[in-house]
């Protein structure tokens, strides 16, 4: 479970304060596929980053009772001056998993071949995503956070990820997905939340959430 206890967040911009989330208390089930729907600029990514612990709420607390991945996507997180292998080693060390096992998994999953030993700065965004997803899938998280807002991964890799996540779902891992892509939302998720006007409105049925989000 991920517990939101009176969590609030806003941004101060030159145009004034913008509320991402009014004080919200709810518990997100972590054994489900959860979609977060919201228009551009509604603060979906910020919400995801708060759940991941990259950003701190202004008020309230987010408590994770299971292991939660970092926000997966096609940007962020990796040190661009280090090679794919070195990044994997670093992440293995902070997450207390066997370095060589993780690297073996990443090599097999992301199929970067010789690029594993090239600096991440030379990667295309697709390769970056492959590395990031590969490393996180190699560490058995209970709950994966995926930001597909900037996703451009190729078809082949998306299918591979879909398979890997489907397998995780069978092992009762969950995921939370932020996406515009209706197809991937339907593929990965079964419940949904709509974020708008600073409120997070949860639905126990994904179709209901999608319909609400579009039609009101």
Partner 1 sequence: MNDIDEAISALAAGAYPQADGILTALGAGKPAAAARTRILWAITQVLCRKFGDGVEAILEVADRAPNRDESIYRMVLSAVGPLESLLSAEAAQEVRLRIGDYFLREEKAEEARAWLAAAFAADREDPLAIYLEANCRFALYGERQAVCDMEIVLERAAAESDRAYFIAGGTAALWYRLGIAHDRLRNLEVAAEYLADAVAIDPENDSQRLLLGDVLIRLGRFGAAIELLSPIPKFADNYRYAARLRAVALYRIGETEEALALLEEVAEIDPLGALTFLEMGRVYLERGDAERAELALARAFRTNPELPGLKSAIGTLERQLGRHMDADAGLPDPQDFAVPEAFAPRLDDAALLQRASLIAGIASHLRVLRAIILRDMLIRYEHSGIGYMWALVQPLVYIAILDAIYNIIGHPPVIGNSNLQFLISGLLPLLCFYIRVESAVSGSIMENVNLLYFREVTPLAMIFANWLREYLTSLVVFVIIVGGLALYDGSLEMSDPLTVILALTAMSVIGMVIGTFFGLGRLVIPGLDLAETVIFRLMFFFSGALFVGNMIPPRLRYWALFNPVFHLIEFVRNGYFTTYHDSYVDWHYPLTCIGVGLVLMMATLHAVRRRVVAP
Distance CA 135, CA 89 (A): 9
73 belongs to the binding site for partner 1 (CB under 8 A) = no
Burial environment of residue 196 by CB neighbours within 10 A (0 to 12, 13 to 18, 19 or more): middle
Q: Which of residues 95-114 bind partner 1 (CB under 8 A)?
A: 95-96, 111, 113-114
18 belongs to the binding site for partner 1 (CB under 8 A) = no
Taking the least distance from each CB to partner 1, the nearer of 142 and 168 is 142
φ, ψ (nearest 5 deg) of residue 195: -105, 115
CA distances to 35, 36, 79, 138, 176 from 165, in Å: 14, 17, 25, 12, 11
- Taking CB under 8 A as the criterion, the residue among 23, 60, 126, 202 binding partner 1 is 202
φ, ψ (nearest 5 deg) of residue 69: -75, 170
- Taking CB under 8 A as the criterion, the residue among 8, 82, 162, 164 binding partner 1 is 82
Contact pattern from residue 113 through residue 132 relative to partner 1, giving x for each residue in contact according to CB under 8 A and a dash for the rest:
xx------------------
Cβ 75 to partner 1 shortest distance, Å: 9
Q: Give the largest Cα separation in the chain, rounded.
A: 50
Burial environment of residue 68 by CB neighbours within 10 A (0 to 12, 13 to 18, 19 or more): buried
- Output the CA torsion sign for 112, 115, 116, 122: negative
- Taking CB under 8 A as the criterion, the residue among 121, 122, 150, 156 binding partner 1 is 156
Binding residues for partner 1 (CB under 8 A) = 1, 3-5, 25-29, 39-41, 49, 52-56, 58, 63, 65, 68, 70-71, 76-79, 81-82, 86, 89-91, 93-96, 111, 113-114, 156, 180, 182, 191, 193-194, 196-199, 201-204, 210-216
């Amino acid at each position: 479970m991920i517990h939101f206890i009176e969590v609030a967040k806003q941004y101060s911009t030159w145009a004034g304060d913008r509320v991402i989330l009014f004080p919200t208390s709810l518990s997100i089930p972590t054994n489900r596929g959860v979609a977060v729907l919201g228009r551009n600029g509604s603060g979906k990514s910020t919400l995801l980053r708060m759940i991941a612990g990259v950003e701190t709420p202004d008020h309230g607390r987010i408590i994770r009772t299971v292991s939660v991945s970092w926000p997966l996507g096609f940007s962020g997180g990796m040190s661009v001056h280090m090679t794919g292998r070195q990044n994997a080693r670093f992440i293995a060390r902070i997450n207390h998993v066997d370095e060589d096992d993780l690297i073996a998994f990443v090599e097999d999953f992301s199929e970067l071949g010789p690029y594993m030993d090239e600096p991440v700065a030379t990667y295309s965004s697709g390769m970056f995503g492959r590395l990031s997803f590969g490393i996180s899938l190699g560490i058995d998280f209970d709950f994966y956070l995926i930001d597909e807002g900037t996703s451009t991964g190729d078809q082949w890799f998306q299918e591979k990820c879909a398979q890997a996540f489907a397998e995780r779902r069978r092992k009762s891992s969950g995921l939370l997905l932020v996406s515009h892509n209706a197809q991937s939302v339907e593929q990965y998720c079964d419940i949904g939340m709509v974020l708008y006007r600073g409120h997070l409105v949860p639905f126990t049925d994904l179709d209901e959430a999608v319909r609400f989000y579009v039609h009101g």
